[in-house]
Amino acid sequence: MTVEHVRKPDWLKIKLNTNEQYTGLKKMMREKKLHTVCEEAKCPNIHECWAVRRTATFMILGSVCTRACRFCAVQTGLPTELDLVEPERVAESVEQMGLKHVVITAVARDDLKDGGASVFAETVRAVRRRNPFCSVEVLPSDMNGEYENLKILMDARPDILNHNIETVKRLTPKVRARATYERSLEFLRRSKEINPNIPTKSSIMIGLGETREEIMEAMDDLRANNVDIITIGQYLQPTKQHLKVQKYWSPQEFNELKEIAMQKGFSHCEAGPLVRSSYHADEQVNAIKMNV
């Protein structure tokens, strides 16, 4: 049964903050012609991250995605942009911001033979050249499930490989486009096989109609494929054209899921209504270093 309207609870209220740090960071992004998933995906934490924590998740390879996932607000279409100078602009921005940890994600580029892996790898290297003490987390698509594409990226030795399964197995065909649950798990498993020393991470959204048992199953599947970090957040409908929220999970339920995740052997779990894949990513990399 489809729930037409579910009232948004008080704990999902977002505090806006448009101070000088927020406006300054936004101006820099526009001047350097850079995209962020914070803006493109309408992330609810943008004001906290930009105005308070001064962190951002860079989205490379343009702003047009070749996939039309039913939860995502990023524009879908046929990309025309492939900017080979983009890695240097990202690296320069990281330097100007003085970041200690940076997350680099991208739209899915199924139109490119390597899925964008070479530009991803060069961005990691460019950031390292300018910012030798900055840790780098990458959040790619499944790159069509091609082993060579993944190896190109892993050879750049990111500090964390993050790839999201997004939802539970049963809901994957409904929620994601051109991506499969099994292929994402394989992508994560192969990442660890290529370099066992690089931590892996994945994220799921809840509130799409999954059951508690299915969330447990997803956790077990991730652990079976040696995933170290998991983030769990509430799905929020970005526009009327996207999937409707079926349930708002309470902060207490998120705390319970976090406890269960840690019991299952994850090195770190970030869980909460406003948690997103890159939320407090700087703290996550520090936490996993302490567990190594």
pLDDT tens sequence across 43-55: 555 555 554 555 6
Residues belonging to the binding site for [4Fe-4S] cluster are 38, 43, 49, 65, 69, 72, 278
As a whole number, mean pLDDT of residues 132-147 equals 92
**φ and ψ of 221, to 5 deg:** -65, -40
Q: Please tell me the CATH code under which domain 15-291 is placed.
A: 3.20.20.70
pLDDT at site 50: 53
CA 26 distance to own-chain centroid: 20
Q: Report the alpha-carbon distance of residue 166 to residue 72 in Å, rounded.
A: 11
Structure-block tokens of residue 130 = 């300018």
32 or 169, which is more confident? 169
Q: Which of 21, 5, 57 is nearest to 276 (CA)?
A: 57
94-133: b or e for each residue (b if 16 or more CB lie within 10 Å)?
Answer: beebebebbbbbbbbbbebebbbbbbbbbbbebbbeebee
pLDDT beyond 90 at 275: no
pLDDT at site 123: 97
Cα Dmax for the chain:
53
pLDDT beyond 50 at 268: yes
Residues belonging to the binding site are 38, 43, 49, 65, 69, 72, 278
Domain definitions of the chain by residue range: 15-291
pLDDT at site 73: 73
As a whole number, mean pLDDT of residues 205-230 equals 97
What predicted TM-score, i.e. pTM, was given to this entire model?
0.84
